Chains A and B, each alone.
Chain A
């Protein structure tokens, strides 16, 4: 029995008319919006951006792919973190839109300054992307993209990222409603010794 989340999400939306309606209205509107948004996008069969232009999305995705790169295991790009971020910026992190717009402008400026023949961060070879990010790794914008990338990689797939749970698979997390022991190496070893 693997939790898919769908029925629970439906319940949650449905229960807004039930007992705790007032409370849900107060507390969870932004969360529910994010979930509804992700579900709508998934249901319509086409993933589109609500906040980013395709150029902006390409730039942010390139940043995310440097923060959690794809190598032997999946990275931010495989997890489609960019869709998580887009949804975050049109729901619970709406107030961070300006930071992204300004941050992307600053990014473009520093790309042109350091590599005058390139226009976009995403056009740069990987080493040069890393070089650029290293100069801005303490900025508010970078911190936010980092936070969003981590969330989009490891949050419940309901929110648009962590596609096919690739983020969870990469770190060894299993989202299940039940497990049976042994859980890890040391308790397995312990049980074997006790059985002897």
Chain B
């Protein structure tokens, strides 16, 4: 394995070896560049993963062990949270993200939806939304399409092209056929058809057949929140990192916690200062830096990287680093059915509905989303959170509900738009520090009224769907204020104008020509809460641009 001396200046340092960073690392190293990936988490492998809910699943309500094996650990890196800028933020575990090589793609469910055309043109299609900063992306679906295709074929995605009448144009089918339908998928399909909707096989970043020397899914059921023990989930850990390392030009450095992107006297970045597992400081020099830390940690790192040349934080002449923070919004309804579904077997999602994807003026508010059917639980989390309202909490009645419902319960989950709002933000907490003495990540978030309306609207559709599918019992979880989130987006907005955005259409900083920001932070609008496919398509596109620019001396 290659190791670059710290004194040497490598071509690129990539901060964050997750869903985006790993792709950029592979593309750059395969094209001859020397790359160091700094990852704050560990480098785990298939053999490290287990069917062990106590160890891996984040189920602690009330908090129990709280060991976050694959995600960020709030005891070491506290967040603070407030709903508005006038409040003082208090310590609360708000953001969740993957913290290991592969990032969130290690523990994700594998939903792999492309954006539709509308996702790039919300502002021009809908107009203005009061209290929100709706804007078009500086790129269109057509411009990103080749990179969606590249992502699907490089990573390995299962699905059925043309199955959804709402799907955007695609240049190539999916590389693999859809995964085996489960009972949740059958019931969703049955209910949706009865209602005149158009269910289709879920596009999933999980292999339905062997692909590129990787094993097909064996339906063990431990996808969501777990690492795949078969390597069948198309995480960047399984599908991308091995190729990057194989080049001999890509070094993966773990337990490397970046605290500052360093700049020279000319205002160009010249490397990254980071702390190792023993909190010793290091400086890796590089000709260019790619920040891929996610929509929360990326703005935090940029804000921590302020200097006399960049007093507002790096790449922040617009003042927009950290602004327009968007999160995963979705409603949850549950139902029980007469016969066993055994949803603990197999991948999480096998059928999806996109009939309410687009906003519709007839609804009277902005927003839309997709619907899927799944089982969100494992045994312990089901016993704690999966029973119908009013079910006894202990005793013979509790046990009866538990034993009767575990195999018969399904969740209808929706995936909604989240409006970009200027005051929703990531910033540095002025008081609270993390275990390394760095400023804690401060979240300011309150959802836009139209987001609440969208949640309610799709929750109602989910209840109709459960009825149409023949549920014996159904219930909707209340639509509460957001107090925790994944899918962290929007905080380094992409745009043509340096006054109104942080990066250009190729994910390059407007302010600093050799700094790139490639992750969910460049999202202008949220899509429908399935960002991974688009984050990765953007990563391929940005890498392509970096390669061309570097080769022609334009970095």
- Which A residues have a C-beta under 8 Å from some C-beta of B? 3, 5, 8, 11-12, 15, 19-20, 22-24, 26-28, 30-31, 66-69, 71, 73, 75, 92-93, 130, 133, 137, 143, 146-147, 150-151, 153-156, 158-159, 167-168, 170-181, 183-187, 189-190
Residues of A within 8 A of B69 (CB): 27-28
Stretch of B214-222, B238-246, B320-328 on the interface side: B214-222
CA–CA, A155 and B54, complex, Å: 6
Closest to A172 in B: B407
- Contact, CB under 8 Å: A183 / B64: no
- Contact, CB under 8 Å: B183 / A130: no
- Contact, CB under 8 Å: A184 / B182: yes
Q: Could you show 24 A-B contacts with beta carbons less than 8 Å apart?
A: A20-B43, A20-B48, A24-B42, A26-B76, A27-B73, A31-B55, A66-B395, A68-B398, A68-B402, A69-B395, A93-B65, A133-B394, A150-B383, A155-B380, A156-B55, A170-B402, A171-B383, A172-B403, A179-B218, A180-B219, A183-B346, A186-B337, A187-B180, A187-B181
CA–CA, A160 and B47, complex, Å: 22
Whole-angstrom distance from the CB of A19 to the nearest CB of chain B?
6
Partner of A186 from B52, B186, B218, B403 at Cβ < 8 Å = B186
Q: Is B103 an interface residue (CB 8 A)?
A: no
Residues of A within 8 A of B53 (CB): 154-156
Residues of B within 8 A of A147 (CB): 62, 64, 384
Residues of B within 8 A of A146 (CB): 393-394
Residues of B within 8 A of A130 (CB): 395
Residues of B within 8 A of A175 (CB): 51
Contact with A along B168-190 (1 / 0, CB 8 A): 00000000000011110111001
- Contact, CB under 8 Å: A177 / B220: yes
Residues of B within 8 A of A189 (CB): 186
Q: Which 8 A-B pairs have the closest CB atoms?
A: A185-B339, A178-B218, A184-B183, A22-B277, A186-B183, A154-B379, A23-B42, A171-B406
Residues of A within 8 A of B398 (CB): 67-68
Contact with A along B298-341 (1 / 0, CB 8 A): 00000000000000000000000000000000000000010111
Residues of B within 8 A of A154 (CB): 53, 379-380, 383
CA–CA, A147 and B230, complex, Å: 31
Whole-angstrom distance from the CB of A84 to the nearest CB of chain B?
10
Given contacts A66-B395, A183-B183, contact A23 B41 (CB under 8 A): yes
Residues of B within 8 A of A180 (CB): 219
CA–CA, A139 and B341, complex, Å: 36
CA–CA, A27 and B77, complex, Å: 13
| Size category, B interface | 35 or more
- Contact, CB under 8 Å: B394 / A67: yes
Partner of A190 from B181, B277, B380, B394 at Cβ < 8 Å = B181
- Contact, CB under 8 Å: B65 / A30: yes
Residues of A within 8 A of B277 (CB): 22-23, 26
Residues of B within 8 A of A155 (CB): 52-54, 380
Residues of B within 8 A of A156 (CB): 50-55
Q: Is B345 an interface residue (CB 8 A)?
A: yes
Whole-angstrom distance from the CB of A120 to the nearest CB of chain B?
20
From A19, A27, A167, name the one whose CB has the most chain B CB atoms within 10 angstroms. Answer: A27
- Contact, CB under 8 Å: A184 / B342: yes
Q: Is B399 an interface residue (CB 8 A)?
A: yes
Q: Is B550 an interface residue (CB 8 A)?
A: no
Closest to B377 in A: A173
CA–CA, A70 and B438, complex, Å: 52
Residues of A within 8 A of B394 (CB): 66-68, 133, 137, 146
Residues of B within 8 A of A12 (CB): 48, 50
Residues of A within 8 A of B399 (CB): 68-69, 71, 73, 75, 170
From B41, B69, B187, B380, name the one whose CB has the most chain A CB atoms within 10 angstroms. Answer: B380
- Contact, CB under 8 Å: A185 / B341: yes
The A-contacting residues of B in range 343-357, CB under 8 angstroms, are 343-346
CA–CA, A95 and B235, complex, Å: 37
Residues of A within 8 A of B65 (CB): 30-31, 92-93
Given contacts A156-B52, A173-B379, contact A184 B407 (CB under 8 A): yes
Given contacts A20-B44, A130-B395, A179-B346, contact A173 B406 (CB under 8 A): yes
Residues of A within 8 A of B5 (CB): none
Q: Is B67 an interface residue (CB 8 A)?
A: yes
